[in-house]
Structure 1
């Protein structure tokens, strides 16, 4: 066989080649492949004198353009179907088949995740329990405590704590106890009754008491009624220098600095919460008026000092 005949034979074989996916399914009984193999591989008489040629392999690129055109859409459709199957559901992470086969557990979807329950509100106390809890706290406080702080500690509404405190105070007064619940310095605290002050002083002080001097009391009164006030103003009212007395009152916690004066830059002083607590007052507005204690000729004395 000449080279041209051999090329024509190869071209015919390439043209007659059908892709595997388009070939018809073989029947149930498989044909005898021995005859087919003998027909294909047996050399023809005309080629006995030629050297043996290697078996011809069907080139993959020998498919006609029409076959390629038919094969590409099918392959694209299969790719799209595979991508649709592998696309994760909304709200669920993607896990491939290979990861499942490898033993990787599928992550739980966002919609199925367990949500931690919010902290439940504290149970509401009964009136008896609330009253007992308030009395227990008030027995250990060392300074007046506000209704808001008590409500936060007991986890109860603030509007419920106030009326209960009023009932407790009224109950102590009605029962005639030696102590009372009183509002002072913006909060509540237990105090001994004034009629038993003599016995309390005798027990606590044992005949020894540290009292403020007359100068300290006068200076403290000026600060209480004129606050905020500077040291020069206090000295002008009292007629003497009061620097040492102011230092003593600041050390005892009855007076504190509260800024500076705009014009002169001098320090301003005011009374503290401890001052209100010691006097049993809620605010400085409860201080007694000064008019009953002033002399009748106060205007004449003021003119004389000028």
Structure 2
């Protein structure tokens, strides 16, 4: 084939070419008619009666087979079309744990411990709802009275009303009046002991009229007393507290360092800071001092005026 014939053949093919979008579409094939079923009974629309339930749950409804439309018995373990499957959400009903559209997200904790309606943030632990402690049962007056008496018999120092109320889990408004009632009852009955306030608390004490018998039993012939110097130093601290050693020595006229150490060792005097100007240690009486004297506060100490001599001003001028 020559070159001219080849060019004419290509030109004819190009002129006869039709684009695909302009080509005519072939006609669609006609659907074949479905054969009529010959094994379906005339009353095919009637459902097969339900089979008896052998497990005692009642008869289960039948469901039609999709391909033939014949009512058949349900197969155990398979879901029935049109009925909700247990454990799956029902369309149109809110799912537990998910926020409802149009409503603000609540900060409520579900059974699993995660917040319902609150997005989970990384690094934030689950919130737990702890049940509030149950309130302590309220004791009757007789039970509360017996509990107070039992505690007061074993204490070795005065105990305050607040501590007693916390231990018994009862309001302090009940404990205070009942302690007053108990103390009045002991006094009216004439017991050998009494309940009274001392050092900011309550404690049982023997009555003063029986002090000689108690002293005879406790001491058993031994005399454990403070010296005259110790008593004088203790009196100065009690009435002038807080006071320094140099001030005590100036009042007594003698050095009192050894006496102060003795009172500190016995627990009657304690340090309570330093003086701002000189930096010397300050001393004051302790709660043991109030307990031994049967006082509630230092303000209950007797006044000194009746015990001072008549010529105290002359003595003060002479010492100057």
TM-score using structure 2 length: 0.64
Of 179, 204, 227, the match for 2:218: 204
Q: Deviations over 1:207-233 (max 9, x none)?
A: 112111000000000000000000000
SS in 1 for 2:139: coil
**Structure 1 counterpart of 2:151, from 122, 129, 137:** 137
CA distance in 1, matches of 2:245, 2:251: 10
Structure 1 vs Structure 2 CA RMSD: 3.4
Unaligned 5+ runs, structure 1: 18-22, 31-84, 94-105
Q: CA deviation at 1:120?
A: 1.1
Query: Structure 2 CA distance, aligned partners of 1:231 and 1:108?
Result: 66
Residues 92, 110 of structure 1: 8 Å contact kept:
no
Choose the corresponding residue for 2:289, options 258, 275, 281: 275
Of the structure 1 ranges 109-118 and 260-269, higher mean CA displacement relative to structure 2 is found in 109-118
Give per-residue Cα distances to partners, 1:95-116, cap 9 Å, x unaligned: xxxxxxxxxxx96874599954
Residues 127-181 of structure 1 deviation map (CA, whole Å, 9 limit, x = unaligned): 1111001000000000000000000001111111100000000000000000000
1:260 to 1:15, Cα distance in 2 relative to 1, 3 A: farther
Tell me if structure 1 keeps the 8 A contact 2:113–2:128: no
- CA distance in 1 between counterparts of 2:243 and 2:25 reads 115
How many angstroms does 1:204 deviate by?
A: 1.3
Q: Deviations over 1:66-118 (max 9, x none)?
A: xxxxxxxxxxxxxxxxxxx9xx968439xxxxxxxxxxxx9687459995431
Find the counterpart in structure 1 of residue 265 from structure 2: 251
* Shift in Å, 1:271: 0.2
- Contact preservation (8 Å) 1:92, 1:108: no
Count, aligned residues: 230
Q: For the residues of structure 2 that align with 1:298 and 1:109, how far apart are their CA atoms?
A: 82
| Residue 223 of structure 1 pairs with residue 237 of structure 2 | yes
Aligned to 1:29: 34
Is residue 260–residue 268 contact of structure 1 (8 Å, CA) maintained in 2?
A: yes
TM-score (norm 1): 0.67
Distance 1:204 1:165 in 2: 28
Shift in alpha-carbon separation, 1:9–1:264, aligned structure 2, 3 A = same
Shift of 1:29: 3.1
**3-state SS of paired residue (1:258):** strand
Give the whole-Å Cα distance in 1 for the aligned partners of 2:303 and 2:260: 23
> Within 5 Å, which residues of 2 pair with 1:133-212?
133-212=147-226
- Tell me if structure 1 keeps the 8 A contact 2:273–2:281: yes
Please list the CA deviations of residues 182-208 of structure 1 after superposition, one character each: whole Å capped at 9, or x if unmatched.
Answer: 100000000011111111111111111
CA apart distance, 1:289: 0.5
Aligned mate of 1:92, from 98, 121, 125: 98
For residues 294 and 173 of structure 1, the distance between their equivalents in structure 2, rounded to whole angstroms, comes to 35
The corresponding residue for 1:52 is none
Q: Distance in 2 between matches of 1:15 and 1:126?
A: 105
Give me the whole-angstrom Cα distance separating, in 2, the residues matched to 1:123 and 1:140: 24
Work out the CA distance in 1 between the residues paired with 2:140 and 2:23.
97
Equivalences for 1:227-246 in 2 at 5 Å? 227-246=241-260
The answer to whether the aligner puts 1:297 opposite 2:299 as a matched pair is no
- Per mean C-alpha deviation after superposition, the further-off stretch among 115-124 and 291-300 is 115-124
Q: 2: distance between equivalents of 1:142 and 1:28?
A: 109
Cα distance, 1:123 vs structure 2: 1.0
State the alpha-carbon separation in 2 of the partners of residues 90 and 272 from structure 1. Answer: 65
